[in-house]
Amino acid sequence: MEMLKFAEALGKKIIEGQHDFFSTGDAEHLEHITNIKQIIVSISEYLSSEGLSDIEINDLADNLRQHARSGYLEACVSNKNEDEDDDVVCDESVVLFDYIYENEKYPE
């Protein structure tokens, strides 16, 4: 298997494992999202050290981030309170994921 495809498959599997742990309620949003970011950064750094192009690495990192974001949204909707609207939870979760991923802290 080509290294880039292997890295993508492995990254997705690790991210899914993180989402499973997050869904148990034992992890905070900040910890969960920053862990996912570190996984993606580490994979990117490894691929860079192996000589893959920045374009390939950035495409993979974007793909993994989108995969992580989708899984996070699914977990948030699955774990919402019954009285909460799915669309509202999803919209708020997108904003929270993107902010924490970029800033590694909660919005103020």
Distances, alpha carbon 13 to alpha carbons 28, 33, 40, 71, in Å: 20, 15, 12, 11
Tens of pLDDT, residue by residue over 27-65, are: 789 999 999 999 999 999 999 999 999 999 999 999 999
> How many domains does the chain fold into?
1
Residue 108 located in a structural domain: no
Structural domain range at position 32? 3-103
Residue 28 located in a structural domain: yes
Q: Which two tokens stand for residue 102?
A: 């970029």
Tens of pLDDT, residue by residue over 58-98, are: 999 999 999 999 999 998 888 888 888 989 999 999 999 99
Nearest-10 crossing angle of helices 29-49, 3-23: 170
Rg (CA), the chain: 15
Count the residues in the chain. 108
> Which pTM value belongs to this model?
0.88
CB 67 within 8 A of CB 12: yes
